[in-house]
Amino acid sequence: MSLFLKALPLMAFRTRPCLVFLCRVSNTIPLSLSRTSTRTRTVFSNSASASETLTSNAKPPLALSEPLEWVNRTAFCGKLSSNDVGKSVQLCGWVALHRVHGGLTFLNLRDHTGIIQVTTLPDEFPDAHSAINDLRLEYVVAIEGVVRSRPNESINKKMQTGFIEVAANRVQVLNSVNSKLPFLVTTADDAKDSLKEEIRLRYRCLDLRRQQMNFNILLRHKVVKLIRRYLEDIHGFVEIETPILSRSTPEGARDYLVPSRIQPGTFYALPQSPQLFKQMLMVAGFDKYYQIARCFRDEDLRADRQPEFTQLDMEMAFTPYEDMLTLNEELIRKVFLEIKGVELPNPFPRLTYAEAMSRYGSDRPDTRFDLDLKDVSDIFSGSSFKVFSDSLENGGVIKVLCVPSGTKKYSNSALKKGDIYNEALKSGAKGLPFLKVLDDGNIEGISVLVSSMDPTTRGNLLRRCSAGPSDLILFAVGHHASVNKTLDRLRVYVAHDLGLVDHAFSFVDH
């Protein structure tokens, strides 16, 4: 069985063989790098959304009076606290924010643990003050200084290190930035600017410095680490790595092919999943196997598909069905509890395939919002509305989706030719019959449909849908599969449009 690790990015690093030469080196390395760019300083406010422009106009190179020494980092930016006040520390990191205020220069220094504010004392350490004035965003620097408490008026409770700062007495530039940054790496937490993916991927090293990307990669690391410890230490699984280059076998998608240099005209196939290898391991007598497997599928991009992804593969011998479900449920509960502090139900809710298709129109429904489909075929049996009667005579069904307070959200024009109508057409429906429940309990909508309903039919429909004033009733008519597909799409669209969930997705197109 396979458990997909979604929304957790993976960085692949390629290594190549190299020759290592041993030699005697001194404790310093002369720096002979030419810095020919002009750095134009912009004074920043406290807002982290400010930008900085670096131009390439000629200017005398930045002179270095000292050779570049081996860096001896003694502390991390985000790990400093009030307990470190008075200590002398040496920090290394990237300049995340640079500003001048009241004759003093401040900067935020960032490393993988967090951010610390660095300030200068121009009278006591003029060289450090001058060096910090020349720094710009994303310079890589080593800073030596003393941890001290911030003045009360400068305390930033939003920062983990907002109660302290480092007074710099020595600054060393390890690497400079000689061109304009394509985007800001450090932004305010409430910044709403969205970067285009093309720009992010083109400058991937900068993109991966951003807090969100750093968090995503560390999150994936924590999840995989927890999975390994759980399966190995608690349940006795053995991790076995299966081949990447293998013979092509029939599976659900097209294979990625790799030509063989040694045997011209033949190809290896990248695995879509380690299915055959798992079966071989069980036949060979391995009792419990797992791996965090890379999978490759040459197929069109979709909401839940990509050419290359990672999944958890497991195989167990002589294991009852319920034991397999229990192990997976316990694993997922453990991951959510320890990683996010979320307690999932025990046991998980279960739906039969028939119930899932009947209530949600999908075998993989999004159950985060309470919008169930209702079969009303029996209510409209013998209806004079030709669309309904013809469908029932041909073996079709009539289902409805009741949208709470939907009449306040969707106008008649939106239902007849707007976005929600177009969503129905995209699913293959030929139209979108609808009814609106008025404040007095009466209904309005498609005139032919309204006129075909007597008081008994209307009452039965409202009770079946649990519909009240201002609710909207959407209909889908036809074969079971097409009706489920239409209402599943509308269900997800409405949930997202009404803000019932932060993000809604559907598998109806897959």
- CA angle, 269 as apex, 264 and 274 as ends, to 5°? 150
CATH superfamily of 37-175: Nucleic acid-binding proteins (2.40.50.140)
Tokens standing for residue 81: 């606290």
So what's the pLDDT on residue 215? 92
Residue ranges per domain, the chain?
A: 37-175, 235-317, 355-497
Tokens standing for residue 321: 């069905």
So what's the pLDDT on residue 186? 86
Query: Is the preceding omega at residue 349 within 30 degrees of 0, hence cis?
Result: no
Residues contacting residue 151 through CB under 8 Å, at least 6 positions apart: none
Cβ count near 119 (within 10 Å): 19
> What burial class does residue 326 get, using C-beta atoms within 10 Å of its C-beta: 0-12 exposed, 13-18 middle, 19+ buried?
middle
Tokens standing for residue 250: 């029939």
Q: Which residue has the tokens 């993109």?
A: 207
Strand segments, DSSP code E, in 27-139 are 28-29, 68-69, 88-101, 104-111, 114-120
What does the alpha-carbon distance between residue 443 and residue 67 come to, in Å, rounded to a whole number?
84
How crowded is the C-beta side of 210, counted as CA atoms within 13 Å? 19
Identify residue 147 by its one-letter amino acid code: V
Residues contacting residue 1 through CB under 8 Å, at least 6 positions apart: 313, 314, 315, 324, 328
DSSP state of 154: G
CATH superfamily of 355-497: GAD-like domain (3.30.1360.30)
* Dihedral sign, Cα of residue 490, residue 496, residue 501, residue 504: positive
So what's the pLDDT on residue 40? 34
Per-residue pLDDT of the chain (510 residues; tens, 9 = 90+): 555 454 444 433 333 334 333 333 333 333 333 333 333 333 333 333 333 333 334 344 444 455 666 788 999 999 999 999 999 999 999 999 998 877 788 999 999 999 999 999 888 899 999 999 999 999 999 999 999 999 999 899 989 999 999 999 999 999 999 999 999 998 765 566 678 889 999 999 999 999 999 999 999 999 999 999 999 999 999 999 999 999 998 888 899 999 999 999 999 999 999 999 999 999 999 999 999 999 999 988 877 778 999 999 999 999 999 999 999 999 999 999 999 999 999 999 999 999 999 999 999 898 888 899 999 999 999 899 999 999 999 999 999 999 999 999 999 888 998 889 999 999 999 999 999 999 888 899 988 999 999 999 999 999 999 999 999 999 999 999 999 999 999 999 999 888 887 654 443 343
CATH assignment of 235-317, among 3.30.1330.60, 3.30.930.10, 2.40.160.20, 3.30.420.40: 3.30.930.10
- CA angle, 370 as apex, 396 and 442 as ends, to 5°? 70
What does the alpha-carbon distance between residue 466 and residue 461 come to, in Å, rounded to a whole number?
8
Tokens standing for residue 29: 């390395």
- CA angle, 481 as apex, 479 and 483 as ends, to 5°? 65
pTM: 0.74
